[in-house]
Structure 1
Amino acid sequence: MDQIKIIDGINDAIAKLRALTQTNVQQGWRYCNGDIPYPVATQPQTWEKWSIAQRNEKDYITWSAGRQVIWLSQRFLVPQDLQRYPLSGLGLRLVLTWWAESAQIFVNGQLLQEGDLFDSSTRMLLNSTVVPGQEFAVALRLVSPGHDIGGLMRSQILYEATNDDIDPGFVADELTILQNYSASFDPEQLATLAKAVAEIDWEMVSQRTEFMRSLTELRQQLSTIENSNFRIQNSQNSIQMLGHAHLDLAWLWPVSETWDVAVRTFESVLKLQQEFPDFTFCHTTPALYAWIEQHRPDLFKAIKQQVAAGRWEIVGGMWVEPELNLIDGESIVRQILYAQRYVQKTFGQLTTVAWVTDSFGFCWQLPQLLKQGGIDYFVTQKLQWNDTTKFPYGAFWWQSPDGSQIFSLMSPPNVAGVMDTNPITMASYAIDWEIQTSLKDAFWLPGVGDHGGGPTRDMLQVARRWQKSPFFPKLEFTTASDYLFKVSRLFAKRGLLAKVSRLFAKRGLLAKVSRLFAKRGLLAKVAGGIENLSVGSLGEEEIRTEDSGGGKGQSQTTKEIPVWNDELYLEFHRGCYTTHADQKRYLRRCEGLLYQAELFAALKTIATGQAYPKTELEEAWKKVLFNQFHDILPGTSIPEVFVDANQAWQEVEEVTGEILEESLNAIASKITLPPPPKPNAQAIIVFNPLNWQRSEVIAISLAISLPVSIPVGSIEWEVYDCFGEKIVSQVSHDQAQQIQNHDNNNHNLSYSQIELLFLASNIPSVGYRVFWLCSNTEHLKLELRPSNRFPIPHSRFPTPDSRLPTPDSRFPIPDSQLPIEDFVLENQYLRVVVDRETGELSSVFDQVNQREVLSGRGNQLQAFEDSGQYWDAWNIDPNYADHPLPSTELIGIEWIETGVLRQRLRVVRRLMRSQFCQDYILSAESPVVKIATTVDWQERHVLVKAAFPLAIDADYVSYEMPCGVIQRSTRPQTPAEQAKWEVPALRWADLSDETYGVSLLNDCKYGYDAQASQLRLTLLRSPTWPDPETDQGIHQFTYALYPHQGSWRSADTVKLAYQLNLAFLSSLWSPANSSVVSNNVSNNSRPSLPSTGQLLNLSAKTLILMTLKQSEDIPEQWILRCYESHGESANLSLVSDLGLKVVHPVDLLERPISVSEPSPDEKVVKIEPWKITSLAVKSII
């Protein structure tokens, strides 16, 4: 028989069966636009005046966007039969699917169900036993989304058996599943299926009992045909189910609503578990469990009981489901550490499954971090959202640059927020899964998500019904850890067999070895004992392999299990690297403050014995971790969410600033000051928070008071180092103004604020150096404020009301009469020329290497129209480059500073309705030109980038990622490479050829793109949904250009980027106002510190300190964590004025890796390339 006729015959029979119990009623809705009271709208007599709703080409009923209301109404009369098939006694369901922000379903005037964008479908039971002639009046009140048109996509009347009996629709689904399995795995069986279907006795349709007997005989016949695979349950196929309810902590609702949704969701799950004893459920987010524990202890107790019973699984592995491209490595560590400690303490077990199904891409070092955090498996589905390529693997080993591997799974795609138990959908996925992975066990996650919900009773009833069908995969509930363990073990066995086969096949020994092993039963034992092996046999696979130094991929054909040695880049949501710039700046700021506060609090406790603020720091960390949630940090929520988030950020700034200031003061009080060079000298203590010696020009802000008769400009300032040698200094600017004295008694004093610059040279690794400040006013008593304080500057983000009202008042506009001479900034490293017509860089000349850096005008502010994207805040228009906007207009240029230590040239430009005020800054002894930027941004749907065309031709561009570096192609060839047209990075990107390169650094930006001769940094974009005022107002940020010889490695780009983000901490210190005097004796039993101190040095060029913190469980021990940043082996040798020594290595949960204490000769810790290393240390002083 012709194959097409065979398939047509099967499809015809399936369609005829469905028509006996199912009716499409999409064409029968009458509509009314606009809201009316529901008692009126639900009355049938009201509908008679309404017109029939029109449907589009997809059979959808649509209406306007913007939270517009539409009423749809229709009467349903139960007939005697459908296509002669009697309906009496069957159950009646109304099946609906909508796209609406709010949905209310009224039946006979009563509100029976509600839904929204996420709970967007129903199989509503209108009657469990219908009687012909019954009538149901159904009215729908639907509200369109604020950002999109509304839609009713499906409406259907469905009659089905409500007990365990079969019905024509059920058999039609079984035949569809059998047809799909046969077509996919054994096409020859389609003829057998068609022959059996042809024997259905259609003449007996009107006699329901007889007709159903005919269908029963069909099913018995199919289940007994020899040499067929129709009994799918008996062919080891299964669908492993786990209930799930993805709950965004904030998105289109505030956090306060999330708590209520969580309570409703968890109560629903617990109730359903009483009715369905095999139903298992999983949920993430320890932050959420902690809230439930505090506010609903009764509910929490019930959850704990289900966890103990194995019916509720704690997955996730992180405090929240965070954004994982933008947060730094230590943030990921703390996500894992605090989550795992909470789960262990509260539920008595560690989470083994990292479950981040909705985050927008995943950094390449994540496998190493997860494995070190006690996590064995990684699950996401987000790469199913790719807009360019299909991710090639369903199950694979994901490998970090250091070689760490984690078994990873792409869970079923869930775009609409609902994953039901529709049998055809589940079976189709199981077929695709088996084709992709050769695994017969598929994984399914029934439930309503995004806004919580979880599995519905109907989902579980449908699953229970299909558990009894012999023509459906075995359907059973499981846990994620059990499923992943089973699959990974199977892959490990395959890997062992493949290795043995390849080894012995070469020598012609395969058959002999197989027979020998089979006799002794050894092969299964050996294979069964292998776990987490990175090879396996899945048939021909194209494997992505990467050089661990940066992601340069090559494809190879192999029969081994897939290994993905690269980032998991989401080809979608690229705007999240930039949207809501305030969240990005707060993130970078708070990560830096937490690092510094913990570091110096630990050193303070070690040096002085004062208490370590563990509780305050943990609370601050958890606020930051919460704000790293994947719809908060990316900027993709409603405005109310950011009101809450910004308050939390500011609280973190406040508490960490106080801890840092207190800690620095405590350490300073232990420092023995050298003799001052002059009697009126004030000590300046400069602290370096980074783990390498560095020299930089620093600025000290001085608040001074002096008689009004002495102009502040007449004071001469001098700075001396700790050896009494005078060093160069420079007054940046003064803002002297005479104001009333604070005590209202002296009107003859003026108060001034000045900024004094000097070169702080050779500040030791995590150390400090004392300098002295003197003036020529020895005969006067000066008040220099602040004294005995280390002021920690806080981020300044304006409120909406603080936007500047008129263009001319936004920034001080320089004189339009520009001087004739060129605007040139110059030091021993660079000569930077600013174009007097545009304010752009016309030249950056490397004076060391005698070469021009730019190939065109640098720091071009390139603006593009960025509109038309459904996911507005998430997505950049892929075709934005085709829609450039007019160039900037120069308003003015002026010199701010022209001193020997720092040159600062201000450029103000207008971009449509916005203004950019940018200061080009070149400091002495620095090879970096900084661009300090303040923007008044007033655009909508505009993307702006800073572009630098470079005199370089490079094949690859390097980007910083958490705890490492990744290379991406500048000449993309494959679709996957071409899809990376906007990519995430942390502090820097670098374009280098074989001999020369340029790094583009930043202090709070994350989106880049690159070509072979160009680097661009994305500065701002302005979507309008879900926040209509996204990024409107004032922004402050700095980026910097760093030309260099050689690669980013030899140029120390990593360190310079850290230095841009973590400046020296410095302030005045007055011995007269403290407990410290020259040659002082320590104020406690601990020794005093010298005038130049090295508190912590790792003695390895490529190691970057991530944290020094108190141990979670052993207060007298400290956790030192670092990572190797160049892809080279390193030897850590701890040097510290505080006597710090290594105790033993630990993992991220601070569990000892080696409990033996090193001998005195074992002072060096070897660290492998790209390795994240944690050490327990203690002070022996």
Structure 2
Amino acid sequence: MTIGTIPSGAQMHDDRALVEARLARALRERIRPAVYARSVPLTVAAWHAPGEPVPFAEAAGQEYAPTAAGEPWGPPWGTTWFRLTGTVPAEWAGETVEAVVDLGFDADRPGFQCEGLAYTPDGAPVKGLNPRNAWLPVAARPGEPYEVLVEAAANPLIDYRGYVTPLGDPRTAGTAPMYRLARADLAVFEREVWELARDVEVLDHLMRRLGTHEPRRFEILRALERALDALDLQDVPGTAARARERLAGVLASPAHASAHRISAVGHAHIDSAWLWPMRETVRKVARTAANVTALMEDHPGFRFAMSQAQQLAWIKEHHPGVYERVKKHVAAGRFVPAGGMWVESDTNMPGGEAMARQFVHGKRFFIEEFGVEPAEVWLPDSFGYSAALPQIVTLAGSRWFLTQKISWNQVNRFPHHTFLWEGIDGTRVFTHFPPVDTYNSDLSGTELAHASDNFAEKGRATRSLVPFGYGDGGGGPTREMLARAARTADLEGSPRVELHTPEEFFRAAEADYPDPPVWSGELYLELHRGTYTSQARTKQGNRRSEHLLREAELWCATAAAHGLAGYPYDRLDRLWKRVLLHQFHDVLPGSSIAWVHREAERAYAEIAAELEEIIDGALRALAGEGGGTVTFNAAPHPRDGVPALGAALTGEAPPSPPAAEHDGTYVLDNGLLRVTVDRRGLVVSLLDLVAGREVLPPGAAGNLLQIHPDLPNHWDAWDIDPFYRNTVTDLVDAEEVAPAGPGAIRVVRAFGSSSVRQTLRLRPGARRLDIETQVDWHETEKILKAAFPLDVQADRSSSEIQYGHVHRPAHTNTSWDAARFEICAHRWIHVGEPGYGVAVVNDSTYGHDVTRQPRTGGGTATTVRLSLLRAPRFPDPETDQGLHRFGYALVPGAAIGDAVREGYHANLPPRAVPGGRAVPPLVAVDDPAVVVEAVKLADDRSGDIVVRLYESLGGRAAARLTCHLPVSGVQECDLLERPLPAGRTPDPGEITLALRPFEIVTLRLTPA
């Protein structure tokens, strides 16, 4: 090419490529390494902690052995303490000195590997050490000694792409060291070189995102070329300022007036457990909080939002030095408690009260500890969002909602980024879904451009939120991210970036977009559908704990109100928090390593034992002395002569009729239902004798267990992909079908490496067939379903969620309908046609599917299946192996109200205790559509009785609430038991309520 001529288009393309390649190499090999061009090694000694982590005071007093860079350390899940000592060279006077400590990081996997927390010799936390954040400040002056202790965690790098690994369980992880100490130096921090690297990175990212024919792209290209020409690669520190001068002009060019506005909110999405146990999360949150509070000292405008009250409670308990720094910056408005929940929980499977208590305990912690009450809900990574949430959020005193996970949808692109989300009761919440499509942004030009390009509300709204900071395993924002934010605050070709708190963003977004569109119903995630089923023991523990807590509060409140026993405030508070912790969105969904779920199973056993003790003490106090038997019913509907939420003196229940054998089949008949079970152990007829109709379609069989192969394309424990249905094995061979006592039939099967034992039971006076299923499960990459074909022509199913239910299409008319091929339900799912319906209730199952099939003789039948067990191999290779017990039941002729009633009864069996006193219900409601969900004493220990109830059928209801004790005052409250400004204040003598569909009402009753 001749100088002075205009190059051709092809030559310009080649020129761009040459400059870009030149830039990449210079940045990688010259500029970044020159940030710490001058260094001296530190002296390193190490102490390897035996077993679990120890506190600083214990570690500091140990004998440390000499070691050095290059030496191995850290068996999986082990902890090594390094003592680093040295002297700042005298010739570094006037320089900024930092310690550079590389524990053996893989720079591409921040948050998923080894990490460290540095301490001064007297035990004060300094900051965390993470990949891409491996420096420590040095206060020592030239000639002065420097010493720091580093608690290094050898967390194994568990590949989350689905490879089977033994590393998730310390029993199988091995003991060989996993890491080598790569570097431990004192170094001069070349500020001008570091700034040059940031200038180049921002401009390079921006340039690559601009169109190939935009003048701005070439302005940046030529400026970068001039900067490289000005940089002496043999003396980068000495020429960095000269190179930066060549970039000053393009960096000073302001953004367009119409540029998208981004609120950058610093945060670290830290999973309370996932590919690490909870004990490691305790350390992760301390390292992250130490990082961000240290960053705030150098960057006063930086704000950081931290959700999950549990994580702050961990810092308070285990790292008080870090917590004092947190409190200082909270008071200054820089460290922002966010979200208002105890943990970032799953929202599909927690029950109504548990979902409410996530906000009660989370907000109360923030209020009591910091005097702060978050107004937003911060749930970027949960696996779909229940349609009950808008009302729960509002009743908790919040007004905004943030999520991001819906960007992971497999099939349908969600149409909005800012919208009003309407729940099942009609409550609407202003909601934002960040178009950056990540909750771990590093504020790169690529991500900022994607946020702007992707924003669905362009032309109607102008701003979105970007959560930035290394997360999942923690670390948080870095000074490099803040440098990018500063450079993109007003930069031509880039969105305008401002550092904001969540509240600042939401207030600005509401003003910017006063009339957003409305999305009604659940935010269903078209992914991770296997989380409704994986790790059955964890899910059973959760369900059982929720109902035991209901009973404990009800019976303890009743006993306390009658002066028969004290109320165990502290024990219930502690137990609730433990249950809420295990509802975190990688624990309850079953997507954590084996260690996490083994600990969860142990925790649930301990929770159950303590709650059973509390319940037993309260019931014995209520039943008093006597030679009879008192039966207590904690369900919200009467059962077998026992009032709802009350007790009755009872005798022996009448026996069930025995199973009758006819031609190799067995028949159960209680005068309401007649069930025929064939020699395969399948239900081949279920006659509803009251309605006079057969429940099963012609030629179909119920209680059919089915096995499918289950190897999703990605995310083993998380996903079920639709092609699993292409192959199915019906389990129709029975080893035994025989009577099992009055009104019961036993069925025993063997299949693969597993076996199943079932008892089908028809009780006197019951309009439901109970099935108790015990599975000894030893399959791999398979899913077990229980199928019930039903002779109803249903175009939708109804599934219980928190405080109500949702309707979902049973057909696949649209891609949105087809994507819901696996759905979540709580205690029941219902299908029906006008005049007749059938419910399937369960005591511990969440995953279901509903399909429609042609019916022999014409019409369409509907099949409901429960997903009982899976066997994914990642992240826990032994997921669900072993013995399991499930209870479920078929309820013919059921309306929605029957499904509600039977669902509660399946999960709250009556309790019989010796005694002679049947205390009447503490509270009662006269409308069966209105369900009492909780009865407890007020958390402020005033002695007030708190009653939470809701309309359960989806219609209007008028109900009268009666209290067995005299009441002097009634006040409607929010979930935190604070009076609502416009709340109802019924007459204590006549507590009547009018409820809209699915409305939740919390009443506070003051005893007279």
What is the distance in 1 between the residues matched to 2:756 and 2:396? Answer: 44
Note if 1:633 corresponds to 2:588.
yes
- Match runs of 1:198-597 below 5 Å: 231-232=254-255, 234-235=257-258, 237-412=260-435, 418-433=440-455, 436=458, 438-467=460-489, 469-492=491-514, 536=515, 561-597=516-552
Aligned to 1:978, which of 814, 818, 821?
818
What is the distance in 1 between the residues matched to 2:748 and 2:26? Answer: 63
Post-superposition CA distance 1:885-924 (Å, at most 9, x none): 36342100111123xxxx0110101121111111110011
Task: Say if 1:981 and 1:247 are closer, same or farther in 2 by CA, change over 3 A.
Answer: same
What is the distance in 1 between the residues matched to 2:744 and 2:454? Answer: 61
Secondary structure of 1:843's counterpart equals strand
Secondary structure of 2:562's counterpart equals helix
What is the distance in 1 between the residues matched to 2:27 and 2:220? Answer: 28
Q: Which moved more, 1:982-991 or 1:1158-1167?
A: 1158-1167
Post-superposition CA distance 1:388-413 (Å, at most 9, x none): 11111111111112111111111355
> Residue 532 of structure 1 corresponds to which residue in structure 2?
none
What is the distance in 2 between the residues matched to 1:194 and 1:214? Answer: 19
CA RMSD of superposed structures (Å):
3.8
Note if 1:1168 corresponds to 2:1008.
no
**Equivalent AA in structure 1 for residue 17 of structure 2:** A
> Residue 768 of structure 1 corresponds to which residue in structure 2?
647
- Match runs of 1:30-49 below 5 Å: none
**Equivalent AA in structure 2 for residue 688 of structure 1:** N
- Match runs of 1:28-177 below 5 Å: 97=108, 102=113, 145=159, 147-148=162-163, 162-163=194-195, 171-177=203-209
Unaligned runs of 5+ in 1: 28-38, 44-65, 68-92, 106-117, 126-140, 151-158, 184-189, 224-229, 493-535, 537-560, 674-681, 696-761, 776-817, 1072-1088
Task: Say if 1:659 and 1:953 are closer, same or farther in 2 by CA, change over 3 A.
Answer: same
Post-superposition CA distance 1:233-267 (Å, at most 9, x none): 54464322121111111111111111111111111
What is the Cα deviation at residue 692 of structure 1? 2.7
Unaligned runs of 5+ in 2: 1-6, 30-66, 78-101, 117-128, 137-154, 166-190, 233-238, 655-660, 853-861
**Equivalent AA in structure 1 for residue 845 of structure 2:** K
Post-superposition CA distance 1:1078-1129 (Å, at most 9, x none): xxxxxxxxxxx7x573432111111111111111225221110011101122
**Equivalent AA in structure 1 for residue 676 of structure 2:** V
Task: Say if 1:374 and 1:167 are closer, same or farther in 2 by CA, change over 3 A.
Answer: closer
Task: Say if 1:418 and 1:406 are closer, same or farther in 2 by CA, change over 3 A.
Answer: closer
> Residue 842 of structure 2 corresponds to which residue in structure 1?
1002
Aligned to 2:851, which of 983, 1003, 1011?
1011
What is the Cα deviation at residue 468 of structure 1? 6.6
Aligned to 1:852, which of 691, 694, 697?
694
**Equivalent AA in structure 1 for residue 709 of structure 2:** E
What is the distance in 2 between the residues matched to 1:26 and 1:888? Answer: 64
Note if 1:664 corresponds to 2:679.
no
Post-superposition CA distance 1:1056-1084 (Å, at most 9, x none): 11111111111333x6xxxxxxxxxxxxx
Contact 1:840–1:860 at 8 Å: present in 2 too? yes
Post-superposition CA distance 1:194-231 (Å, at most 9, x none): 897899898998577999999989996998xxxxxx84
Task: Say if 1:1064 and 1:423 are closer, same or farther in 2 by CA, change over 3 A.
Answer: same
Note if 1:684 corresponds to 2:629.
yes
Secondary structure of 2:924's counterpart equals coil
What is the Cα deviation at residue 345 of structure 1? 0.7
Note if 1:17 corresponds to 2:40.
no
What is the distance in 2 between the residues matched to 1:927 and 1:356? Answer: 41
What is the distance in 1 between the residues matched to 2:921 and 2:217? Answer: 83
TM-score normalized with structure 2 length: 0.78
What is the Cα deviation at residue 573 of structure 1? 0.9
**Equivalent AA in structure 1 for residue 473 of structure 2:** H
Task: Say if 1:436 and 1:927 are closer, same or farther in 2 by CA, change over 3 A.
Answer: farther
Note if 1:1177 corresponds to 2:997.
no
> Residue 1116 of structure 1 corresponds to which residue in structure 2?
943
Note if 1:1059 corresponds to 2:886.
no
Secondary structure of 1:334's counterpart equals helix
What is the distance in 2 between the residues matched to 1:958 and 1:479? Answer: 39
What is the distance in 2 between the residues matched to 1:967 and 1:6? Answer: 63
> Residue 896 of structure 2 corresponds to which residue in structure 1?
1048
What is the distance in 2 between the residues matched to 1:241 and 1:104? Answer: 25
Contact 1:21–1:160 at 8 Å: present in 2 too? no
> Residue 964 of structure 2 corresponds to which residue in structure 1?
1137
What is the Cα deviation at residue 471 of structure 1? 4.4
Contact 2:263–2:500 at 8 Å: present in 1 too? yes
Contact 1:434–1:442 at 8 Å: present in 2 too? no
Post-superposition CA distance 1:685-704 (Å, at most 9, x none): 11221233222xxxxxxxxx
What is the distance in 1 between the residues matched to 2:69 and 2:574? Answer: 51
Contact 1:909–1:916 at 8 Å: present in 2 too? yes
Task: Say if 1:651 and 1:214 are closer, same or farther in 2 by CA, change over 3 A.
Answer: closer
Secondary structure of 2:511's counterpart equals helix
**Equivalent AA in structure 1 for residue 848 of structure 2:** Y
**Equivalent AA in structure 1 for residue 677 of structure 2:** V
Note if 1:890 corresponds to 2:734.
yes
> Residue 936 of structure 1 corresponds to which residue in structure 2?
776
- Match runs of 1:834-873 below 5 Å: 834-836=677-679, 838-855=680-697, 856-873=700-717
What is the distance in 1 between the residues matched to 2:111 and 2:549? Answer: 42
**Equivalent AA in structure 1 for residue 450 of structure 2:** S
Secondary structure of 1:595's counterpart equals helix
What is the distance in 2 between the residues matched to 1:204 and 1:1152? Answer: 64
Note if 1:922 corresponds to 2:775.
no
What is the Cα deviation at residue 647 of structure 1? 2.6
Task: Say if 1:974 and 1:120 are closer, same or farther in 2 by CA, change over 3 A.
Answer: farther
What is the distance in 2 between the residues matched to 1:640 and 1:849? Answer: 51
What is the Cα deviation at residue 422 of structure 1? 1.5
Contact 2:110–2:131 at 8 Å: present in 1 too? yes
Note if 1:1101 corresponds to 2:928.
yes
**Equivalent AA in structure 2 for residue 1124 of structure 1:** E
Total equivalences in the alignment: 856
Post-superposition CA distance 1:75-105 (Å, at most 9, x none): xxxxxxxxxxxxxxxxxx9996469965899
- Match runs of 1:781-792 below 5 Å: none
Task: Say if 1:1155 and 1:994 are closer, same or farther in 2 by CA, change over 3 A.
Answer: closer
Contact 1:770–1:1092 at 8 Å: present in 2 too? no
What is the Cα deviation at residue 954 of structure 1? 1.0
Secondary structure of 1:763's counterpart equals coil
What is the Cα deviation at residue 473 of structure 1? 3.3
> Residue 543 of structure 1 corresponds to which residue in structure 2?
none
> Residue 950 of structure 1 corresponds to which residue in structure 2?
790
What is the distance in 1 between the residues matched to 2:279 and 2:362? Answer: 21
